[in-house]
Structure 1
Amino acid sequence: MRGLWKNAWRRDGWPARLAWLLGLWAAGVGGLAVVAYVLRLVMKSLGMTAGAA
């Protein structure tokens, strides 16, 4: 049973690991973009602007 995980991980190889890494990174960046956009909408609705100083 111990060798099952090693074999499953080895079978996927580097391309699968890289795909997971890039997918998780893209999901994180996309999630932060959505949060920033929503925060911007909330601030704009409250009359807070980021005008030039």
Structure 2
Amino acid sequence: MNRASTHRDRADGGTLKRLGWLILIWVCSVAALGVFALGMRIVMSLVGMTR
């Protein structure tokens, strides 16, 4: 086993880990935006701003 293949294997694992974190953060931010929008709709309906 040479150093180049070891470094490449470690880099590929890191890349997948970073991609996983990126997807997780994106999903959480979309979910948070959805919760915020739902909260805004509830507040708006409570104060009479319905269509």
> What TM-score, normalized by structure 2, do the two folds share?
0.71
Unaligned runs of 5+ in 2: 1-9
Identity of aligned residues (%): 38
> What TM-score, normalized by structure 1, do the two folds share?
0.68
Cα RMSD, aligned residues only = 2.1
CA distance in 1, matches of 2:41, 2:12: 45
Q: Deviations over 1:12-45 (max 9, x none)?
A: 4111000000000011111010000000000001
Larger radius of gyration: 2
Residue 34 in 1 paired to residue 32 in 2? no
CA distance in 2, matches of 1:32, 1:42: 15
CA distance in 1, matches of 2:17, 2:36: 28
